[in-house]
Amino acid sequence: MRILSAVILIAIVAIPISNVHNLKRDGSIEAFLKNEDPALLAYNEFRHQFGQDGEIIVAVHSNNIFSTSFLKQLHRLQ
């Protein structure tokens, strides 16, 4: 009886573990909405029209980047 219980327990545990590699995580906000949701469709159209860059690059210029006035301006920019 103990051996049968151990085999059944191993089978119950082995079946879900065998599919762990198929799990995927989607942490996006869009994943909470259905594909046909009007808000999601409008948001996707907006992203398509205006782009969806996740990064912004800002270039700053100064003759003396270590001056107090420049560092204060840089601090306000941040």
Q: Which of the four pLDDT bands, split at 50, 70 and 90, describes residue 10?
A: very high
Q: What is the pTM of this model?
A: 0.39
- Give the mean model confidence (pLDDT) for residues 51-75: 84
Among 54, 30, 27, 31, residue whose Cα is nearest residue 42: 30
**What is the chain's alpha carbon radius of gyration, rounded to the nearest angstrom?**
27
Which residue stretches of 1-78 are H helix? 2-18, 38-50, 68-77
**Distance of alpha carbon 48 from alpha carbon 42, whole angstroms:** 10
- Give the mean model confidence (pLDDT) for residues 45-62: 81
Residue that wins the pLDDT comparison between 77 and 5: 5
